Homo-oligomer: A and B are copies of this chain.
Amino acid sequence: MTTVSIVNVTSYTGSELLRLLAVHPQFVVTSVTGRSTVGKRLGEIFPHLYAMNARLVPEGRMAIDPDLVITEEPAQTDLAFVCLPHAAAAESAARLLQHGTKVVDLSADFRLRDVDVYAEWYNHTHPEPALLETAVYGLCERYREQISQASLIANPGCHVTTSLLALIPAFAAGIVTPDVIVDSKTGISGGGRNPSQKYHFPEADEDVAAYGISGHRHMPEIAQELEAAAVAGGHPLERKLRLTFVPHVVPMIRGIFSTNYVDLKLDAEQHIPTTEEIQALYKEFYANEPFVHVVDQPPHTKWTYGSNHCFIYPIVDTRTSRLIVVSCLDNLVKGASGQAIQNANLLYNLPETTGLEALAVHP
């Protein structure tokens, strides 16, 4: 058994970790922290957890104990998932690492390699620049080996995961120019658990809107990793990435749907690749991935509801020579807590899919 703490369990990424770890055979949650809820039991905050009890698991072991008391600081555990906001997350991670705890950080603190970019987008100096050296970007499909050797993982952003999985094969193969438009649509759980006027049900239901149009923090993260993928694929960009990213909120709880527009280059024979060629390239790229599926028809976010799966569909717009890649996943699972567990499985040399076998809840 590996003991696990969840720091800031009362966030949606925290409660999603509880849900997923409840069926994990190896990780046992022994410590949970909160801020305004210190001293309460898990089941008081999440009454549905009372469904988890010793009767449910024949051998009497409970991965989640609804009577676990929320504390201010995590107890000593082998592994910690940090679900704090940025800055606070880095400080918590630093303390945990000092005690020998491995850390999967779900905040943005260790995602950007460049502390100046971090400072520009997050409006403060990076609190733990030294740790950046050791942190590994936790996109398992890209950095699997480095992750398995690391002790600090920077779990990617939800919009970022959706777009990177859609665009990395094209950038790694060097078939597109650096002109990118990412139009992303997210369910409302992506906005977190704190109530607000804009996500009050009567305001958010039956509504679509864009946000962060003038600049969203996931933009530099997408840029960093697309540029890195181009280099890793042997096709470094000829000029700086020209990336526009516009996220939208749609009236559903879970799911991100990303529509990615790029310009195709002519190939060696001066042709624009066909949809069939691109699909073959993508299928080859993800041939061994358990959670990434290149499909022959436009996917739906519902195919991913509650699961760690991502579906990708590339298509060439022959009239304009643009490549359109749509991709979708559950923002709380593959876009956050599921990917965090996937990372943790790698950290502990477990099969990467452990505890993440569930299919989408459909319909």
Contact = CB atoms under 8 A, between A and B. Distances in A.
A46 to B, nearest CB: 7
A206 interface: yes
Given A251-B250, A315-B213, A317-B244, A204 B201 contact: yes
A304 B362 CA distance: 15
Given A181-B181, A252-B251, A326-B210, A200 B202 contact: no
B206 A189 contact: no
B244 A298 contact: no
A290 interface: yes
A349 to B, nearest CB: 12
Interface in A276-301: 288-291, 293, 295, 297-301
A257 B206 CA distance: 12
Interface stretch (A92-100, A145-153, A352-360): A352-360
A290 B196 CA distance: 32
Interface residues of A, number: 97
A53 B324 CA distance: 26
Interface in A241-261: 242-244, 246, 248, 250-255, 257, 259, 261
Contact of A360 (B51, B185, B194, B243): B51
Interface string A44-64: 001111111101111000001
Count identical subunits in the complex: 4
B302 A48 contact: yes
B202 A353 contact: no
Contact of A206 (B254, B293, B317): B254
A102 interface: no
Interface string A1-27: 000000000001001001100110000
Contact of A188 (B201, B242, B261, B297): B201
Contact of A353 (B58, B189, B242): B58
B252 A301 contact: no
A253 B363 contact: yes
A352 to B, nearest CB: 9
Interface of A: 12, 15, 18-19, 22-23, 46-53, 55-58, 64, 181, 183, 185, 187-189, 193-197, 199-211, 213-215, 242-244, 246, 248, 250-255, 257, 259, 261, 288-291, 293, 295, 297-307, 309, 311, 315, 317, 319-320, 322, 324, 326, 328, 351, 353-354, 357-363
